[in-house]
A = this chain, B = another copy of it.
Amino acid sequence: MKLTSKGRYAVMALVDLARFDTINPVSLRDISLRQGISLDYLEQIFSKLKKNQIVKSTRGTQGGYILSKKPNEIKLNNILNAVDEKVKTVQCKKESKKGCNGRATKCVTHNLWDELETHINTFFEKKSLQDLLKDNSERVN
């Protein structure tokens, strides 16, 4: 059970953005350099963040990205969903009556994993970008 780089990078990049977008839009190039993330990969990630209205972009020279909401309104949940880093613990389709392995009934562990999913999502719903900013306010990089 592990987190992928895409989700990790998305959050890192947005924390960076939240710190520096107060005056001018921030270019991906800057984020790439500060956070050590491949520029090309960042572009893929921000394309998704934009589609999900988490960031806004300005093209051209001096362009870049800014947050489209206040940091305390952006929950980790929103970020991770945007980049398809969904929490998926059950194997089956939740809505279906059928179980995993194509069985007719839900398996013996179904309820357990479903509880776990809720447990994790609760964590993500509570945490906002703002919380992360506080947590790192002393740091400079």
- The interface of chain A, by Cβ under 8 A from chain B, is 1-5, 7-8, 11-12, 15-16, 35-37, 76, 80, 85-89, 91, 100-103, 105, 107-109, 111-113, 115-116, 119-120, 123, 127, 132, 135-136, 139, 141
Copies in the complex: 2
Chain B: CB-nearest residue to A119: B123
Cα–Cα, bound, A139→B116 (Å): 21
Task: Determine if A112 and B132 form an interchain contact, defined as CB atoms under 8 angstroms apart.
Answer: yes
Return chain B residues, CB-CB under 8 Å to A111.
Answer: 135-136
The residues of B that contact A86 with a CB separation of less than 8 Å are 1
Please state if A1 and B108 are interface contacts (CB–CB under 8 Å): no
Q: Which residue of B lies closest to A117 (CB)?
A: B3
Collect the chain B residues with CB atoms within 8 Å of residue A132's CB.
Answer: 108-109, 112
